[in-house]
Structure 1
Amino acid sequence: METKENDLVENKSEPKNLVDSVRLKIDELLKPKVLEQCIYRAPLKVRRINEVAYTPRVISIGPFHLKDERLQSMKSMQQIKLIYLKSFLEGTGLTLEDCVSKIQEWEADIRNCYAENIQLERDDFVEMVLIDACFIIELFFRYYDAKQWTGGDPLFAKPWLAEDVAHDLILLENQLPYFVLDGLYNLATKSDPTFPSFLNISFKYFEKLNPQNIEPDGVNVWHFTDLLRRFYLSSSQRLQERSQVNVILEHLYSASELIEAGVEFKADEENKCLLELQYVKGVLTMPRLDVSDTTEIHLRNIVAFEQAHYPCDTYITDYLKVLDFLINSERDVDILIHKGIITTLLGDSNEVATMINRLCSNLIQPNMNKEYLSICQQLNEFYEKPMNKWKAGLIHDYFDTPVKTATSITAIILIVLTFVQTVCSIYPLVQGS
């Protein structure tokens, strides 16, 4: 009897415990976050298309790939991280206590930057951030003053490894919040105002990815994937008005179809910003896109970041969506290569077409910048005018090569001369009658 009463008491207490548990979870949600989420895993339906594009080759940064057994097995890379940490502390005069204390102060803000709950105890989390952040800062500073380090640096001695590390540092799932790197760097250099800013040395490290030579002044970034994205943007893209995607984007004719309708494609050799498309009176002008074996990786990570963080400012996704419409086959790629709009090191036009089409698979595109929507609409309208197709067909059949042009002109001259001769023959007979 007593046991039953005890069970009853326990059962009565369970609802209260459950209510408290749920209330605690709700309260956690309501706590204000100092920083917005900015580091995400690529959406599963997008990641499955090309998992390699989001996966580090040699080094884990941050928590998402921390327990990856393949990366953990690379003992030399773990050793290099610690060598760089030791060098950072010795070179700056900071103590481990200084760095740990600062990261502990930022811990909640750092965790809030990740779009999922990081299941690491406080000490493990702080240790991870400390080692990864100091590694990156030391690496960037050595690269900034490379002549001093070329001889004895464990990365510079192996160019392939240094390249793989640089590749891994721009992946969306492999990031630390930028404010951590900048804060530790400022803590280390505050006594010497002659040091460049961390943004300056970041730009130096990634200079090969900055074809527009964008200056660091006034640039604010969340992390290195965001920095890579900003290298693609121009000032006009950042201010471009957007509009809901409508029926216009249900279909846009491919490059080969537009060529047949008389649209002229022209490469903009002066503009380094890929996104600056222009359309004027049947001429579509596009900056040159250089395609290499890293192009898909860079664009995939930028697009994944845009989809999660900038759903209303997906400017790189906008560009790829237009390119996806223009390219349906290797013939479309060949046209754009012939016009100087695409250059490729892949060696296969079909491979380029597949890459572009796969980049836009499973993406949500609720809006687009108004300039692109206008260009799409004008291209559709141009294609659907029968007169344009007739003119384009005439040019294609009779005037698209020097030989055809010469033959056509000769034929026209013969027809005209024959007509004149006929008139001259008939005219006296008419007069005589």
Structure 2
Amino acid sequence: MLQNVQPPEMDEIFMQCIYKVPLNIREYNPKVYAPQIVSIGPYHHNSFGAMEELKLKYLKGFLNRTQQPIREFAVKIKELEETIRSCYEGTIKYDSDEFLEIILVDACFIIELFLRWNKLGDWMKKDPLFLQPMALEEILKDLLLLENQLPFFVFEQLYNLSGMNEKFLDITFNFFESKSLGNVCPRESPKHFTDLLRCSIISSSKLGLGKQEEDQVIKHVYSASQLMEAGLKFEVCPNKSFLDLTYSKHGVLSMPILNIHDNTELLFRNMMAYEHCHLSSTNIVTQYVVILDFLINTEKDVNILVDKKISVNWTGDANKVVTTINHLT
């Protein structure tokens, strides 16, 4: 029986970058891995009927904007179909026509969304999506979920056909900037939006974890309160990436500012899941979360980091921060 099982081609393995989060990872909080308002790509397709109608309206808006026939974009997706399929883990249940439609509609919806965000104006008063800031916020979060992705090259290929001047990577980063934890746009195209979030952190890193060896394991770090009692001083460093932790021989731990908010768990969990699943990915973000888990054990630890301006607790609840951080690892 096993003789008939064909292993995936090596090219397919290396193309894979979009995964279903393993059950042992998602079991603690499945909600942070599943879209809440908009499904993108084949894994969660057609989960939200109302959004499918809005996608078609945005598709029409994109075609009107570009003055290009839909056939031109459809042909490009068809040319890329095999490559796109190879980016997804597992077998995609949709046939060629269904798959083409999913990718085309979802990609054009997102491109048009980003273009509208990039050029805000009076038209917003007529767009139901931009009249609902909370809905837009939920969409932004959904677009960062590992299971809710399209390959980034799909957007670039369609965007290039549209004749727009600005780079798609730039308008993408502009849309996600409020959620980016690194605030530096990567120079190279990411594999997808989850990868963009992670790359924005690594790209802005100058020191610290971003430069550690791939197989280096962090075994133990004392909590913030224990370190302070031992005489260690905390200091904010100006680097943009929170990965840039440094310790000086003078007993000073320097850390960039980390903003902790209601979406912190979602962002970290999806980046960590991506690091876990992706063959060519290092575990830099996961290492950082392990350090946070050591540093933060009690509300006192949270309050120390806030008092030293190293952390900004937007949740307003120190105990919630402790629970969130301690359950990430």
What TM-score does the superposition give when structure 1 sets the normalisation length?
0.70
Residue in 1 that maps onto 2:244: 276
Shift of 1:31: 7.0
Counterpart code for 1:273: S
Q: 2:170 matched to 1:196?
A: no
Give the distance between the partners of 2:228 and 2:205, measured in 1 at CA. Answer: 31
Q: Encode CA deviations 1:263-302: one digit per residue, 9 max, x unaligned.
A: 112222x222111111112111111111111111111111
Given that 2:214 and 2:282 are in contact with CA atoms closer than 8 Å, whether structure 1 keeps it comes out as: no
Residue in 1 that maps onto 2:149: 175
Residue in 2 that maps onto 1:91: 65
Give the distance between the partners of 2:36 and 2:263, measured in 1 at CA. Answer: 13
Counterpart code for 2:177: E
Give the distance between the partners of 1:205 and 1:178, measured in 2 at CA. Answer: 15
User: Which one of 220, 227, 231 corresponds to residue 196 of structure 2?
Assistant: 227
Shift of 1:34: 9.2
Given that 1:35 and 1:109 are in contact with CA atoms closer than 8 Å, whether structure 2 keeps it comes out as: no
Residue aligned with 1:273, SS: coil
Given that 2:241 and 2:256 are in contact with CA atoms closer than 8 Å, whether structure 1 keeps it comes out as: yes
User: Which one of 111, 122, 135 corresponds to residue 85 of structure 2?
Assistant: 111
Give the distance between the partners of 2:292 and 2:279, measured in 1 at CA. Answer: 20
User: Which one of 148, 152, 155 corresponds to residue 129 of structure 2?
Assistant: 155
1:352–1:31 distance in 2 versus 1, CA, 3 Å? closer
User: Which one of 173, 179, 184 corresponds to residue 214 of structure 1?
Assistant: 184
Shift of 1:120: 1.0
Counterpart code for 1:92: T
Q: 2:212 matched to 1:244?
A: no
Residue in 2 that maps onto 1:61: 40
Shift of 1:344: 0.7
> Equivalences for 1:7-18 in 2 at 5 Å?
none
Residue aligned with 1:83, SS: helix
1:106–1:296 distance in 2 versus 1, CA, 3 Å? same
Alignment identity in percent? Answer: 42
Structure 1 or 2: more helix by fraction: 1
Q: Encode CA deviations 1:394-426: one digit per residue, 9 max, x unaligned.
A: xxxxxxxxxxxxxxxxxxxxxxxxxxxxxxxxx
Given that 1:85 and 1:131 are in contact with CA atoms closer than 8 Å, whether structure 2 keeps it comes out as: yes
Counterpart code for 1:119: K
Shift of 1:207: 2.1
Residue aligned with 1:88, SS: helix
Shift of 1:39: 0.6
Q: 2:52 matched to 1:78?
A: yes
Given that 1:142 and 1:149 are in contact with CA atoms closer than 8 Å, whether structure 2 keeps it comes out as: no
Give the distance between the partners of 1:311 and 1:323, measured in 2 at CA. Answer: 24
Given that 1:209 and 1:231 are in contact with CA atoms closer than 8 Å, whether structure 2 keeps it comes out as: no
1:196–1:311 distance in 2 versus 1, CA, 3 Å? closer
1:213–1:323 distance in 2 versus 1, CA, 3 Å? closer
1:204–1:314 distance in 2 versus 1, CA, 3 Å? same
Counterpart code for 1:84: Y
Q: 2:226 matched to 1:257?
A: yes
Give the distance between the partners of 1:144 and 1:277, measured in 2 at CA. Answer: 34
Given that 2:299 and 2:322 are in contact with CA atoms closer than 8 Å, whether structure 1 keeps it comes out as: yes
Q: 2:329 matched to 1:339?
A: no
Gapped regions of structure 2 (runs ≥ 5): none
User: Which one of 20, 36, 42 corresponds to residue 15 of structure 2?
Assistant: 36
Residue aligned with 2:150, SS: coil
Shift of 1:60: 0.4
Given that 2:205 and 2:244 are in contact with CA atoms closer than 8 Å, whether structure 1 keeps it comes out as: no
Shift of 1:235: 4.8
Gapped regions of structure 1 (runs ≥ 5): 1-17, 361-433
1:154–1:47 distance in 2 versus 1, CA, 3 Å? same
Given that 2:256 and 2:310 are in contact with CA atoms closer than 8 Å, whether structure 1 keeps it comes out as: yes
1:34–1:149 distance in 2 versus 1, CA, 3 Å? farther
Q: Encode CA deviations 1:186-241: one digit per residue, 9 max, x unaligned.
A: 0111xx6xx1011111122112234654245x222001111111222225369624
Residue in 1 that maps onto 2:291: 322
